[in-house]
């Protein structure tokens, strides 16, 4: 029996992807800083760079799922 295709849209918008992309690029160059206003240290972790990119996308009101409650 063939599977039914889901008619869901994209989970993340194009703007969110670009934001994460630029954050990853800044991490590679060594210019991505953590913390409010970039007052923290250099970001070395890939996961942290992705999280910062998604956070920036949320601020620009791009299509990004809500943060999971901790």
Could you tell me if residue 41 is inside a domain?
yes
Which pTM does this prediction carry? 0.77
The tally of domains found in the chain comes to 1
Could you tell me if residue 64 is inside a domain?
no
Evaluate if residue 34 carries a pLDDT over 70: yes
Could you tell me if residue 24 is inside a domain?
yes
- Structure confidence at residue 40 (pLDDT): 84
* Domain residue limits at 45: 14-59
Could you tell me if residue 6 is inside a domain?
no
Could you tell me if residue 8 is inside a domain?
no
- Structure confidence at residue 70 (pLDDT): 67
What radius of gyration, in Å, describes the C-alpha atoms of the chain? 15
- Residue corresponding to tokens 């996308």: 57
C-alpha span between 24 and 20 (Å, rounded): 6
Could you tell me if residue 35 is inside a domain?
yes
Fill in the DSSP letter of residue 43.
-
Could you tell me if residue 26 is inside a domain?
yes
């Amino acid at each position: 029996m063939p599977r039914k295709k889901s008619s869901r849209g994209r989970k993340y918008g194009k703007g969110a992807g670009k934001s994460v992309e630029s954050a990853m690029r800044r991490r590679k160059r060594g210019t991505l800083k953590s913390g409010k206003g970039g007052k923290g240290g250099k970001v070395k972790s890939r996961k942290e760079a992705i999280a910062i990119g998604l956070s920036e996308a949320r601020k620009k009101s791009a299509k990004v799922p809500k943060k999971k409650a901790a």
